[in-house]
């Protein structure tokens, strides 16, 4: 799994893989973004979805007024990507699903 | 329909509840009162009562919340409880249009038309444009007249069926001298004689007719009240006569019951855009919920776990929103959860959330285009 496939997409701010308890396995982030915090957050949200909806490998896309955040449960852990609001989400999603 | 936060007396010109400025200082109070009001206008009375009880347990001195609770109990049909609540806070809320209006409704339902009229009149003093109070007064004043007509046979002296419409009150001055002592007795019984009747139809002098039929002055004084269809504002004698059980026989009660149901839901405006959204093949259904997980309006037929879903979605939304705020990454606007069997799209609409559930193959872009239009409508309704 190469995170660079995601981070080289324009306006992607970073991507990472975290364990289900929130520890970072691997990450590539631009300066100013804390991978550990985002990793912990993605683990929390993905666990919550898994617990509430009883679905394996569910994914979530969150839009704030600044960024777009994608997270998905994989066998290895939680894969997450953070992109600028203006990024091409469709492209990110395709790459994201393929990983 | 909704006019919130104009800072007046807690009610709109149309009689709907308005949130005063001081509510803005207490966001919890704002949420529960606003939400309860929305529930009430949507016909979800039990939910509104539940929220109000909970909110009032945290804000026991919140008068407006109590007014809405009284209104909720009235709409539920629990008149006794509604009356109890509204009377408890009357001293603090006597300037409230809504308080007076609903007390009027309650007393009307209880058959105490005198008090109902009094409260409707107070409502109109506060807001002369209140159409509901005007309409009720128009309905009730003839009833009071009818009460008088019905009450007349209680008098033992003369049969009422002989009364003709031509009969008019005898002015005090025209009563023969020999009858004056009797009239004095009447004045003891009825401290404020009806002189108004006289003034309206001065040209009719039916003194002779009355005297023929009513040898004593008692009937002469009462009958003019009976015959006069135009209401005199003073109704002193009515309190002494119990007429409530007779009224249903006249057939006026059904008119009273109709109006409570009439209010259209503010969410009716959403029906058209929502229908367009639901008509998309891949959309299973949609619903509106509050940020604290309570269902506001559902457009998802056949699904029974909507309320559970609301709670789960609100939980995820709040957690994510808090996390983003902590990370200084902005406020959460919308999110999509993609599951193997369905996709859940959630979009903020002011203080509420619009949730659209689609099939996995749905195009989220299209869903969001429709959603944006609906959100504008929701904002208009809820804010």
Q: Which residue ranges make up each domain of chain A?
A: 4-98
Contact B56, B66 (CB under 8 A): yes
The predicted structure's pLDDT at residue A16: 93
Q: What is the ipTM of this complex?
A: 0.88
Report pLDDT digits (tens) over B110-156.
888 888 888 888 888 888 888 888 888 888 877 776 666 555 555 44
pLDDT confidence tier of residue A24, bands split at 50, 70 and 90? very high
Please indicate whether, in this complex, the C-beta atoms of A60 and B338 are within 8 angstroms of each other: yes
Tell me which of A75-79, B130-134, B340-344 is least confident.
B130-134
Q: Is the pLDDT of residue A85 over 50?
A: yes
**To the nearest whole angstrom, how far is the Cα of B92 from the nearest Cα of chain A?**
43
- Range with the poorest average pLDDT among A18-22, B68-72, B122-126, B241-245: B241-245
Q: Which CATH homologous superfamily contains domain B21-146? A: Tetratricopeptide repeat domain (1.25.40.10)
pLDDT of the residue at B146? 66
Nearest CB to B316; choose among A49, A59, A67? A49
Quickly tell me which residue has 């104009």 as its tokens.
Answer: B6
- Judged by average pLDDT, the poorest of B9-18, B84-93, B130-139 is B9-18
Q: Is A62 on the interface with B (CB under 8 A)?
A: yes
Average pLDDT, chain B: 69
Binning pLDDT at 50, 70 and 90, where does residue B261 land? low
Confidence at residue A55, expressed as pLDDT on a 0 to 100 scale: 66
Residue B186 reports pLDDT greater than 90:
no
What mean pLDDT is reported for chain A?
Answer: 88
Q: What distance in Å separates the CA atoms of residue B112 and residue B106, rounded to the nearest whole number? A: 9
| pLDDT at B357 exceeding the cut of 80 | yes
| pLDDT band (50, 70, 90) for residue B310 | very high
User: Buried (b) or exposed (e) across B121-159, using 16+ Cβ within 10 A?
Assistant: ebbbebbeebebbeebbebbbebbbbbbbbbbeebeebe
Tokens of B192: 């404020």
Nearest Cα to Cα of residue B256 among B247, B246, B264: B247
B347, β-bridge pairs: B334, B354
Q: In the predicted model, is pLDDT for residue B35 greater than 60?
A: yes
Domain range summary for chain B, segments of one domain joined by +: 21-146, 169-227, 266-382
Q: Choose between B54 and B238: higher pLDDT.
A: B54
Please tell me the least confidently modeled range out of A55-69, B265-279, B321-335: B265-279
Better-scored residue on pLDDT, B211 or B317 = B317
Question: Which CATH superfamily includes the segment(s) A4-98?
Answer: Dynein light chain 2a, cytoplasmic (3.30.450.30)
User: Which CATH architecture is the domain B266-382 placed in?
Assistant: 2-Layer Sandwich (3.30)
Looking at per-residue pLDDT, the higher value among B381 and A51 belongs to A51
Give the distance from residue B365's alpha carbon to the nearest chain A alpha carbon, in angstroms: 10
* Helix or strand (DSSP H, E) at B312: helix B306-326
Task: Estimate to the nearest angstrom the gap between the alpha carbon of B14 and the chain centroid.
Answer: 10
Distance CA A71, CA A79 (A): 6
The rounded percent of chain A whose pLDDT value lies above 90 is 49
Q: Which pLDDT score is estimated for A23?
A: 93
What residues 9-38 of chain A have any CB closer than 8 A to a CB of chain B?
A: 34, 37-38
Distance from CA of A29 to the nearest CA of B (A): 15
pLDDT for A78 equals 93
Answer yes or no: do B312 and A58 touch at CB < 8 A: no
Within the 298-317 window of chain B, which residues sit less than 8 Å (CB to CB) from chain A?
Answer: 312, 315-316
Nearest to B116 by CA among B125, B104, B106: B104
Q: What is the largest CA-CA distance in chain A?
A: 36
Gap between the Cα atoms of B42 and B197, Å rounded: 46
Q: Is A37 in Cβ contact with B332 (below 8 Å)?
A: no
* Percent of chain B's residues with pLDDT above 70: 59
Residue A76 DSSP code: S
Mean pLDDT to the nearest integer, B148-166: 50
Residues 6+ apart with CB under 8 A from B109: B74, B79, B256
For residue B323, list chain A residues with Cβ-Cβ distance below 8 A. 41, 44-45
């Amino acid at each position: 799994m190469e995170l660079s496939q995601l981070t080289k997409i324009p306006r992607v701010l970073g991507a990472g893989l975290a364990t289900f308890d929130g520890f970072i396995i691997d990450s590539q982030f631009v300066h100013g973004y804390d991978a550990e915090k985002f990793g912990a957050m993605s683990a929390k949200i993905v666990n919550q979805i898994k617990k509430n909806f009883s679905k394996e490998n569910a994914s979530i896309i969150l839009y704030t007024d600044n960024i777009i955040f994608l997270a998905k449960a994989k066998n290895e852990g939680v894969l997450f990507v953070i992109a600028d609001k203006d990024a091409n989400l469709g492209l990110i999603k395709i790459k994201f699903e393929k990983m | 329909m909704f006019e919130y936060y104009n800072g007046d007396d807690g009610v709109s010109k149309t009689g709907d509840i308005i949130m005063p400025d001081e509510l803005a200082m207490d966001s919890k109070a704002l949420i529960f009162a606003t939400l309860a009001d929305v529930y009430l206008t949507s016909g979800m009375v039990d939910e509104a009562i539940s929220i109000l009880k909970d909110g009032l347990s945290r804000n026991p001195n919140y008068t407006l919340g109590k007014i809405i609770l009284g209104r909720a109990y009235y709409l539920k049909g629990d008149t006794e409880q509604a009356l109890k609540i509204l009377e408890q806070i009357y001293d603090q809320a006597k300037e409230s249009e809504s308080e007076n209006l609903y007390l009027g409704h309650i007393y009307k339902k209880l058959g105490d038309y005198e008090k109902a009229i009094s409260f409707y009149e107070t409502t109109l003093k506060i807001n002369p444009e209140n159409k509901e109070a005007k309409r009720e007064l128009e309905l009730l004043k003839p009833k009071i007249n009818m009460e008088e007509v019905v009450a007349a046979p209680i008098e033992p002296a003369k049969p009422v069926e002989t009364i003709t419409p031509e009969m008019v009150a005898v002015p005090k001055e025209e009563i023969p001298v020999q009858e004056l002592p009797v009239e004095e007795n009447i004045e003891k019984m009825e401290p404020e004689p009806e002189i108004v009747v006289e003034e309206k139809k001065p040209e009719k002098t039916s003194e002779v007719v009355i005297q023929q039929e009513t040898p004593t002055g008692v009937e002469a004084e009462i009958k003019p009240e009976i015959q006069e269809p135009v209401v005199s504002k003073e109704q002193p004698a009515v309190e002494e006569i119990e007429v409530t059980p007779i009224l249903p026989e006249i057939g006026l009660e059904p008119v009273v019951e109709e109006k409570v149901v009439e209010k259209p839901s503010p969410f009716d405006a959403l029906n058209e855009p929502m229908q367009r959204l639901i008509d998309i093949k891949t959309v299973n259904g949609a619903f509106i919920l509050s940020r604290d997980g309570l269902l506001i309006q559902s457009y998802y037929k056949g699904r029974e776990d909507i309320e559970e879903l609301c709670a789960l979605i609100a939980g995820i939304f709040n957690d994510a929103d808090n996390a983003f705020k902590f990370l200084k990454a902005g406020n959460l606007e919308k999110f999509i959860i993609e599951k193997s069997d369905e996709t859940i799209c959630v979009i903020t609409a002011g203080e509420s959330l619009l949730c659209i559930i689609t099939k996995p193959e749905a195009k989220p872009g299209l869903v969001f285009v429709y959603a944006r239009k609906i959100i504008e409508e929701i904002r208009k309704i809820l804010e």
